Structure formats: C-alpha cells, structure tokens
Amino acid sequence: MASANKIIKLENAIEASDYPKRINDVVHETLTNLSKFQLNEILSNNTNRKIVSLKGKFEGSSGDAIVILEKTAFSEDILTEGNKYFNEENHLKNIFHNDIYGDYQYFPQIELNALKATIIHPASQKHIDKYSVHNLYMVDETPKIYTEVILPQISKDQFDLQWVFNILNHTSESERIVFEDPDAESGFILLPDLKWGGEVDTLYLLAICHKKGIKSLRDLNEQHLPLLKNINKKGIETISSKYGLDGSQLRVYLHYQPSFYHLHIHFTYLRHEAPGILAERAHLLSNVISNIELIPDYYQRVTLPFVVRENDGLFQALEEGKVLKKISKPV
C-alpha cells in the first residue's frame, strides 16, 4: 500500500495545475537579430538534417541560451511561381565541369535563403543536455521498470509545463491555433509544431489535449478512447480542409518517451521525414486505439522500448536501478 500511495503522490505532483503565470524573458520581446548572441559551444551539428544547435549567452541578459539553426526545405510553390530561383538576381559560381556534368555553388536572392531559428532562453541544463551530442541506449521498459524507476524520475525531473498551459489557456500562441475543440474531456488544440516552417511539403502539427493528468502512452486505457478518436478524426478533417491533404497522406503518432509529459499527438505529412518517426520512438495513433480496443489496459501491461541519452536524467536513474550500464565507447 505504501508503494501505491507513493505512485499516487507522484502522479498528483505532475497533475498539479496551479502553475504561476510568468512574464516572458525580455530577450524574446526585443530580439531582432543575433548580434548580441555570444557563442560558447557547438552542442551538435547534424549534417544529414542540416541543423546545428549552439549554446551561448545574450549580451545584457542572464542565463544560458540555445540557438538552433536549420536550413529550410524547398517550397514547391516558390519553385513553380514567379521564377524567383531562375532570374538574374541569383548567382552561380562554377566549381568544375566534366563533359555533360557541372558542379556549382548557387547563391539565390536573400529572401530565398532564410534559415529557421529556434531560440530557448533562459535554457536549463535539461535543455542543454537535450540538444547535445550523446551516446544512445535502447531500453525495454517493463511495467515494473516504469513504476519503480521511470515514473519517480519523470515526476521530479520533467520540463516545466507552464508553456503548455499557456497554450491551452490562450495566454500564448493563440494566433497560431489551427483548430480547437474546447471540451474538457475529449477536446484539444491543434497548432503548428515549432519545427514546422509553414510549407505543406513539411507539414508538422501538434494536438495538445485539454484533459490534464495524462502523462504519456503508459497512462492510456479504454476511458481515453473517445479522446483519442476525437483527436484523430477532427485533426485529419482540419488538415484536409485547411491544407488539402487526405488522411491517407498523414502520419499520426505519439512519442514514447515523449519530449514533455502532457498528452500530445503529432500530425506530419507522410512524405516528410520528420525527426522522431523511427520505430523505437513513434507509435501510430491507429495502432494505439486498436491495442486499447483489444486489451483495455494494454499500455499498463506491455513492455515499451525507447531510446535514452547518456546525459539524460532517465539514464542515470536506469543506471542506478541496474537496468542499464554506461558503455565507454565514445559517441
């Protein structure tokens, strides 16, 4: 009974909704360029995804900052309309040519050369760890491991959820909302994920449920089926109406482990290879619904694999619980 009471207390700590309202850090209110960003460290440089994560500080502001720069995808609309890529305002520099093959550097006009920038300030150590290069480990999480190791760790060491409640309360980002069902039990808000640049080719939307207390896949059972089905149906309908994509062209899924512990569901264009779609993390919503319909407490009974970073607090907890051990092989 003591163990059960401990779990209830841990879950209640996560479900607490009396988060204080906070004023946005001044750097986000006045930032117009990166001239005051002082680079201290390159946390990671993903040459495949063309994305770099940088740690530093903003002159005149306290706390660490993370600046994430990402090269954006080509827009088919811009390629096919107005000939912006194919006029005299652009410049080619020949590197070499051999018979029918030529290699060039291409310098398009400035409005076609934008980078997507995500800025986190002030950034916690957990943010810094998240965007740093690290060793990875696969965990087969049994219900026992979840109850005894994972749940206590995420209860004390998860990201602050104030930004989520700011969205749900319309305190922040209300202008970005694509759709909302306000029902307290089955409702949700659908809005663009921070990783989406706005082009349909790379569509990435996030559905955040209004119901509090659902941390992740592990909490889902038959009582949540109306919520899951509502998100799936209305999310697809909204995307079809607004962006012209059929439900068969969408990848709708949950992450495990999630990046934050309030139930949210990802909607991405099937042609877009969004981060986090690999088998060890993504769980298709249609499969989740089917599993619960077959076995109501499926996600309380199943072993769930996931990947953990060596510099994550979860890894330390798993190491202390003798579930994992650190491998000396470098990244």
Active site members = 264
Q: Is 263 annotated as a binding residue?
A: yes
Q: Is 121 annotated as a binding residue?
A: no
Burial 179-207 (b: 16+ CB within 10 A, else e): bbbeeeebbbbbbbeebbbebbebbbbbb
Q: Is 163 annotated as a binding residue?
A: yes
**Is the CB of residue 46 less than 8 Å from the CB of residue 68?**
no
Q: Is 293 annotated as a binding residue?
A: no
Element counts in the chain: helices (H) and strands (E): 11, 14
Q: Is 105 annotated as a binding residue?
A: no
Q: Is 196 annotated as a binding residue?
A: no
Q: Is 260 annotated as a binding residue?
A: yes
**Following CA atoms 214, 176, 159, 162 in sequence, which dihedral angle do they give, to the nearest 10 degrees?**
-80
d(Cα 291, Cα 298) in Å, to the nearest integer?
A: 6
Residues in the chain, total: 331
Strand segments (E) across 23-147: 37-46, 51-58, 65-71, 91-98, 101-107, 115-120, 136-141
Q: Is 289 exposed, middle or buried (0-12, 13-18, 19+ CB in 10 A)?
A: middle
Backbone torsions φ then ψ of 254, nearest 5 degrees? -115, 150
Q: Is 173 annotated as a binding residue?
A: yes
d(Cα 302, Cα 58) in Å, to the nearest integer?
A: 46
Q: Is 269 annotated as a binding residue?
A: no
Q: Is 256 annotated as a binding residue?
A: yes
Residue positions in the annotated binding site? 163, 173, 193, 195, 255-266
Binding-site residues from annotation for substrate: 163, 173, 193, 195, 255-266
